[in-house]
Each structure stands twice: as structure tokens, then as C-alpha cells.
Structure 1
Amino acid sequence: MKLLIVDDDLLVCQSLQLLLGNEDDLIVMDTAINGQEAIEKCQKEQPDVILMDIQMPIMDGIESTKRIKKQWPHIHIMMLTTFQDEKNIRLALKAGAEGYLLKSASIENMAQQIRALKAGTVILDADVLKRITEPDKMLLEGLTERETDIVELIAQGLSNKEIAEQLFLSVGTIRNMLSVILDKLEIRDRTQLAIYYWQRKNE
């Protein structure tokens, strides 16, 4: 099975070329550093599977995927990236990618997924799948996801100790984060914070 690796990080390209090349049935035929170069490589020697990064100069992976799938629909494309945001996931799949894996995946897992992709299976990392199947979580303006979690638990009436146990953090950490949250939102105390949360929740 012939692979093309597309990533603007040369170290990533070299590492994947070396490690995946150790698999008996996988041949890394070439690498490319942007989406435009990927198209040119496909014209010269069509790969079976492309591992495509998303954010690259000149042409990103999503646009490249769209053009490659239009011209060579039989080429399988696996997005390989550090990004898990829902927008990129949906755009990649809409462009024609059949798989979406995180670069943190092990080489063994990656090789297995490449084989499955070639066999016709749509591949989505478990964390990625969770992102696009779960409803969007409400984030309070100016707060991180973890800070919003704390506000939500406060609004449910939990004490600092109970919140600490649920989030696997120390009581001191929760106390410090609560202080930061109150400062960010310019709110006096946890009671006002709970009121603020439910007002936003019901908007």
C-alpha cells in the first residue's frame, strides 16, 4: 500500500516515513510540505492513502483534500492533525476525507487505521468522534472550559470540597480558580455566580 505524507513539519514527515516504513505492507512513496505539493505528487505517482495535515502554508489540507478527491476519488485521505475542533473536523469530512486521526496516536494504531481506511472503513479518533456527536457545551464568556465546569457545579449547589472530588483537583486549587473566576466576571460571591450562570443558561 503506497502512502503519501503531507505535513509542513519536516520532522513529522521524516518520523512517520521512518516508523510507518517499518510496516511490511506500507510503503511511504513520498512526502509533501503543503497541499499544493500534495496535488503535484498525486499527479506524478498516485498513492493509495494520504496522511494529510490541516494547517499548512500555500494550501491547507482541507482545500487540498477537496481538490484531490474531485480529481482522484479513489485516493483515500486521512487527516492527521493536533486539532480537535469541531469546525475543522466537519470541514475535513465535507471535503472528502474518510478519516481523522490525532498525531498523538501510536504508530501501531495509525498503521491499523490506515489499513482499515484502505478497506473502506471511515476512521475517526474516539476523542474526535465525541466532539462531533456530543452537543456543544456552553462556555461562559471569558472563561475556559474547566472554569465553566466549576461555575456549573457551583450553580448546582456543590461545595468546594465536592467540586474538587468530582474534578479530581485539590480544594485549594478550586478555591484559587473560583477567585480567578469571580475576578474575571466581576462578581462578588458564589451565590451571585450561580444566578449569573442560570441567567446565561436560560438565554
Structure 2
Amino acid sequence: MSEFKVLIADDHAIVREGLIAMLNLADDIRVVGEATNGLEVIEMTEKLRPDVVLMDIRMAKLDGIQATREIKTRFPEVNVIALTNYDDDEYVFDCLKYGASGYLLKDVSPEDLLQAIKSAAQGESLIDPAVLNKVLTQFRHLARDSSDHADKLSPREKEVLKALTAGLSNKEIARQLCITEQTVKAHFSSIYRKLNVTTRSQAIVGAVKNGLVDLNR
């Protein structure tokens, strides 16, 4: 069984201890370290090379958004999940823009958090449904025509993007579109290249912001 290495970044000891106690109950997840601020999590990421970083947003010395940006720039293979109390549009957008694989609120269920960690470690993403709905609603009035991007995407790629904005996993997208998971991954590779992005979260932001999916259908 493969084991996923997790690094926790949060400035509250009680939060770190609670997360460690919960994650240690999973056979395939190992907590490799704790960081208390943004600078420390970057240093520990370089040293420990975790599969996933659970990142708080508001921390001393360097906030979680800038820490995410630095980690994804220097260590693109490391996946970052924002785990926070804040669902502000700006926080969500910046985290996803800088490459976070997921954005979850701290009231997330243990089951969903475990699934998010495993999904992120395997290149997928998970965004809290309430947060995703808020971001998509906010982007509805910001969406603009982007024919250059739209012309590059095939009808099937647009269907895959629409399913992604609904929060579906690769397996669920494959089932919904009656294609294989390998085909879904191939579509994502093509979408990333055409939109000039590197993560599913960035693809969501790009798709909605540029009006590439119809959110009302």
C-alpha cells in the first residue's frame, strides 16, 4: 500500500495536534512534520518533500497564500491544500491561482479531508462545495467572452471542464461522459496546455473567469 506524506502548517498548536491525531488513524497517511508559519513550511517542504501540505491561510511571518505560491514555484510536485476558516473570495481565488490543489474549510468532515489528501496526492483536487459555489457565483458577473480560448477547446474538453466545475472526480467525470479515466486524464492534459495552467484548480478559475463553461446549464 502506498503511503502519503503530509506536512501540516498552522499557527495554532491545538489545530495541529487535532489534525495529527486524526490523520494518524489512517493506515496510508503519515504526518512528517508541523510548521507554525509560512517561512517554516517552505523550509520544511524543501527538507521533507511531502506529498501534501495542509496550509492555513493567516499565519505569522508569511501568510499561507504566499507560502503556497513559493512552494508551487520551487517544488511543483508538492500538492497544497488550503485548510482554513476563511471563505473570502480573494483568499480562495489567490490560493487556486497560485496552484493549490484544494480549498477546504476547517469544519470539513474527517472523511472528506482524508479523501482530499489522497486525491491531491494523485493529482486531483477537492474544493469545499460551499466555497466553490460562492466562487462560481462571484465569477458569473466577471466572466467575459474569450473566443481565443474557446476556439482552442473541443466540445468534449468543454464538457470535461463543466464536470470539473461541478466538483466531480476523474472517476465521476468518466462515468458521466461514458469514457475511461485515462481519456479524462488525456483531456485534462490537453486543457492545461491550451489554457496555460498546471492544476485542476487553475483550470476551474480559468474556465469560469474566461466564460468557457456555461454555469447556468
Question: Normalised by the size of structure 2, how large is the TM-score?
Answer: 0.61
| Whole-angstrom CA distance in 2 between matches of 1:71 and 1:119 | 19
Q: 1:29 aligns with which of 25, 29, 32?
A: 32
How many pairs are equivalent? 137
CA offsets, 1:57-113, max 9 Å, x none?
101000001111111000000000010111100011111111001110111210011
| Whole-angstrom CA distance in 1 between matches of 2:107 and 2:101 | 19
Inter-CA distance 136–122: structure 2 relative to 1 (3 Å threshold): closer
Secondary structure of the residue aligned to 1:24 is coil
Offset of residue 135 of structure 1? 3.5
Unaligned runs of 5+ in 1: 138-203
| Whole-angstrom CA distance in 1 between matches of 2:56 and 2:138 | 26
Paired position in structure 1 for 2:150: none
| Whole-angstrom CA distance in 1 between matches of 2:90 and 2:138 | 13
Offset of residue 24 of structure 1? 0.3
Greater Rg by CA: 1
Paired position in structure 2 for 1:192: none
Q: 2:20 aligns with which of 13, 17, 31?
A: 17
Secondary structure of the residue aligned to 1:63 is helix
Offset of residue 43 of structure 1? 1.8
Q: 1:93 aligns with which of 93, 96, 100?
A: 96
Unaligned runs of 5+ in 2: 141-217
Q: 2:51 aligns with which of 42, 48, 52?
A: 48
Question: Normalised by the size of structure 1, how large is the TM-score?
Answer: 0.65
The code of the aligned residue for 1:71 comes to R
CA offsets, 1:109-138, max 9 Å, x none?
10011111112112110001011101379x
Identity %: 39
| Whole-angstrom CA distance in 2 between matches of 1:59 and 1:134 | 29
The question of 1:8 aligning with 2:20 is answered no
Q: 2:137 aligns with which of 128, 134, 137?
A: 134
| Whole-angstrom CA distance in 1 between matches of 2:47 and 2:53 | 14
